[in-house]
Structure 1
């Protein structure tokens, strides 16, 4: 083996050792691992799911009639079901609602509720409760409701509403 070849092997070996040291030091000093802290929230806050569903079948809805119009909840429920959403049996709301709609949701459905809000062109009032334990979103259809948005209108509305943000007193789940 010639001196030139030995010198080349020595240089490549030193470079490999140096690269290994740099990688180990970068991994040890990485501060990004603490940012998520395994999905932990500060004390006194609730973790919420901000993930937007990829398809309607991932969202569970229950429509409640907040008006005096007979059969409105069933009609709206059928429209959502035709669009591919998982529907719970519709009901009549105990209280009347004079706006377009009220969207009630919990920590497991914050992102999905944002998407549902787009079906009402952002005119639905969101109502978050950290006490809700299911991922079912309740929609109380009100007196000012006329129709659900089209596919194109939903996309435009989502662009205007923006990405979901954690409600006050909550933090985003990393899952």
Structure 2
């Protein structure tokens, strides 16, 4: 071969793209991040299955127990014998108030007036019943009497006496069973359980 340039030897120069270091650095950084995330995920799984840092969680639990409020004392609810119940029938069924009053008397309540509901409630109570009394009855007589009739709606009026009206509505079928009422009453009287520490 003639010419200005002459190739000597048995190796030929390879013409290739110059290497870019930016891609290498980016690939190295991505692999480091991926390895770090994999390691962190492994540690999280180990903590989940072994219970993590038990000393720290025990200390947190003690702090939570110290800051928790003490349980409320048992509510002083009146006994059924101390609650005078006036039973009124707001349904078209005759004799319902008398039957309901007899049942409540068997369960220990003191019975007051028995008869038809006042005009404001007569045939206007769609649910099982309405408990009507003074505002002070909301924390005493209403919860106790409410255990006998699930779904009764408590309402207050301006009376100053301690008696409570039970106005039977159209959905009234029967009182709660004595066992169910007793269980509900026991649950009302119990204080909320304290957190176990």
- Maintained 8 Å contact 1:108/1:134: no
Pair member with larger Rg: 2
Q: Residue by residue, what CA displacement relative to the aligned partner does 1:115-167 show, whole Å, maximum 9, x if unpaired?
A: 1111112x0011022x111111001001111111122211343467x57xxxx
Residue from 102, 114, 119 that aligns with 2:130:
102
Cα drift, residue 91 of structure 1: 1.5
Query: Which one scores higher on RCO, CA 8 angstroms, separation ≥ 6?
Result: 1
Write out aligned runs for 1:17-166 (5 A). Answer: 51-53=76-78, 55-93=79-117, 94=119, 95-96=122-123, 97-110=125-138, 111-121=140-150, 123-129=151-157, 131-158=158-185, 162=188
Q: What do you get for the CA RMSD once the two structures are aligned?
A: 1.9
How many equivalent residue pairs? 110
TM-score normalised by structure 1 residue count = 0.57
Deviating beyond 2 angstroms after TM superposition, the runs of 4 or more aligned structure 1 residues are 107-110, 155-160
Which residues of structure 2 form unaligned runs of 5+? Answer: 1-74, 190-197
Greater strand content:
1
